[in-house]
Chains A and B, each alone.
Chain A
Amino acid sequence: MIDQLVIPLVKILIVLNATLVGVTYMVLLERKVIAWTQSRLGPMRVGPYGALQPIADALKLMIKEDITPVRADKWVFTAAPIVAMVPALIVYAVIPFGDTVNLFGREIPLYITDINVGLLYIVSVASVGVYGIILGGYASNSKYPLLASLRASAQLISYEVAITLTLVSVILVAGSLSMVSIVRAQESAHVWFAFLQPIAFVIFFIGGLAETNRSPFDMPEAEQELTGGFHTEYSGMRFALFFLAEYANMIVVASVATTLFLGGWLRPFPNVAWLSFLDVIPSWTWFLVKSFGFLYIFIWVRATLPRYRYDQLMRLGWKVLIPLAIANLVITGIVKVLLL
């Protein structure tokens, strides 16, 4: 009973809260980093160096007026943010944040669950999120959101093909779909998969930027031409849920990239004996540091690169990344047969 229900529930609540705090501070970090890139200060007024800004933002969104446009489909309009947010959160169920820890005499693994189709679960659940965007744009019954949701859905499904194809070559190397086994495989292979699968790593990173509607692929939210993207008509808490889903997805992409390519919770060089003093640092710290690195690069990219044009975006997805992913897959298979 305790193992089946109570411990997972406690973990879920911890992960949920960590995600919410992570997302709000991710927004602050983004504002700060972009401000520094542009020689500005960013938020400075709320708390020391703007440290309490996320709390102020959350409170503000809570008490803001929540507008449903007259022409909108009332129920779909309300359901869309929920449809967008729930998949973004439940993906965290299979992400391994760390090794097992001993707590109150129990061996507690630092992941909510380890299913044998973990990676497939992540890919499929994450792609449900696109429904939230389509429904949101359609239900608004307004021109800009509809255009933006069409763009967003076409972009998401295009890059999803490249990402899923590229994940197959990672599975080839790891020999498993379970996220925990993939980390273990990197431990026994003595190398991060980023070095075994550099092309897959690059494709996954580019695809990850596109999947989360991040710059330079932020066409669905190109504010200069679409005012605000698919959530133009949203305000108050429903807008906040969309926002939450978007940043939660970013953290998911960073964590999946960490798990698949950078050895998850493993310390650097897990096979080198004289570095074993690093084991003092808990395993989840490594996971957080690596994921944070990815998130920082996401922001960095946004601060430096200009936006793609839509036809360029589609060309990159369909004509460059997909052939590259297929070639990488074939080469991986051939090399594996030759080596064994």
Chain B
Amino acid sequence: MLSAYIPIAIFVVVATGFALFTLVFSSLLHSEKYNKVKLEPYECGIEPTTGARDRYSIRYYLVAMLFVIFDVETVFMFPWAVIFDELLLFGLIEMLVFILILVVGYYYAWQKGALEWV
């Protein structure tokens, strides 16, 4: 069973090797005429005065937290869906309880405005 993963391991090596090869190969070919202006960060022609890593909207953080919650819940559903044929009614009721809790949490997040993007 584990041997089915060997091709994937080979593919990882081949894909990484390909990426590194193209980078090295093009570094042998390309021209290098750098100057100070060319190496500056792009800001539509204006000289950058501050660094880029400034504060950003808290919304991105909130979305990431919601994502972690919901995605972990879906991971529980994958094995459930595979053996659903054997569980049937029992499995359905169990999952309905699970989804109900999920939906309550989802409703709470919605009411609290966590899903709004203002």
Measured between alpha carbons, how far is A209 from B95 in the docked complex, in Å?
Answer: 29
Given the interface pairs A241-B19, A334-B92, the reply to whether A89 lies near B11 with Cβ below 8 Å is yes
Measured between alpha carbons, how far is A50 from B79 in the docked complex, in Å?
Answer: 49
> B40 and A154: CB pair below 8 A?
no
B84 located at the interface, meaning its Cβ lies under 8 Å from any Cβ of chain A in the complex: yes
Measured between alpha carbons, how far is A242 from B55 in the docked complex, in Å?
Answer: 26
Distance (whole angstroms) from the CB of B48 to the closest CB of chain A: 8
> A165 and B16: CB pair below 8 A?
no
> A114 and B4: CB pair below 8 A?
yes
Measured between alpha carbons, how far is A3 from B68 in the docked complex, in Å?
Answer: 40
Provide the residues of chain A in CB contact with B22, threshold 8 Å. Answer: 62, 237, 240-241
Q: Interface size class for chain A? A: 35 or more
Provide the residues of chain A in CB contact with B32, threshold 8 Å. Answer: 65
> B26 and A236: CB pair below 8 A?
yes
Tell me which residues from 63 to 82 in chain A have a Cβ below 8 Å from any Cβ of chain B.
Answer: 63-72, 78, 81-82
Given the interface pairs A11-B7, A158-B63, A310-B117, the reply to whether A144 lies near B30 with Cβ below 8 Å is no
A103 located at the interface, meaning its Cβ lies under 8 Å from any Cβ of chain B in the complex: no
Provide the residues of chain A in CB contact with B52, threshold 8 Å. Answer: 71, 140-143, 145-146
Distance (whole angstroms) from the CB of A9 to the closest CB of chain B: 6
Tell me which residues from 1 to 18 in chain B have a Cβ below 8 Å from any Cβ of chain A.
Answer: 1, 3-8, 10-12, 14-16, 18
B81 located at the interface, meaning its Cβ lies under 8 Å from any Cβ of chain A in the complex: yes
Residue of B at shortest CB range from A59? B29
> B19 and A161: CB pair below 8 A?
no
Measured between alpha carbons, how far is A116 from B8 in the docked complex, in Å?
Answer: 13
Measured between alpha carbons, how far is A326 from B102 in the docked complex, in Å?
Answer: 10
Provide the residues of chain B in CB contact with A319, threshold 8 Å. Answer: 110, 115
Provide the residues of chain B in CB contact with A310, threshold 8 Å. Answer: 117
Provide the residues of chain A in CB contact with B88, threshold 8 Å. Answer: 337, 340
Using A12-B7, A319-B115 as known contacts, list a sample of 19 further A-B pairs with CB atoms less than 8 Å apart, ordered by residue number in A.
A8-B6, A71-B52, A85-B15, A86-B15, A90-B12, A93-B8, A113-B6, A115-B4, A142-B41, A161-B71, A165-B70, A168-B74, A168-B78, A175-B82, A233-B41, A241-B19, A333-B84, A333-B92, A337-B88
Partner-B contacts on A (CB < 8 A): 4-5, 8-9, 11-13, 16, 61-72, 78, 81-82, 85-86, 89-90, 92-94, 112-116, 120-121, 138, 140-147, 150, 153-154, 157-158, 160-161, 164-165, 168-169, 171-172, 175-177, 227, 232-233, 236-238, 240-241, 310-311, 314-315, 318-319, 322-323, 326, 329-330, 333-334, 336-337, 340
Q: List 28 A-B contacts (CB under 8 A).
A: A12-B7, A16-B15, A62-B22, A62-B26, A62-B29, A65-B32, A65-B34, A68-B39, A69-B42, A71-B41, A71-B52, A82-B19, A90-B15, A93-B7, A112-B8, A112-B11, A146-B52, A154-B63, A154-B64, A157-B67, A164-B71, A165-B77, A168-B81, A175-B82, A237-B27, A237-B30, A318-B66, A340-B88
The 6 closest A-B pairs by CB, nearest first: A142-B41, A8-B7, A237-B26, A171-B81, A311-B117, A157-B67
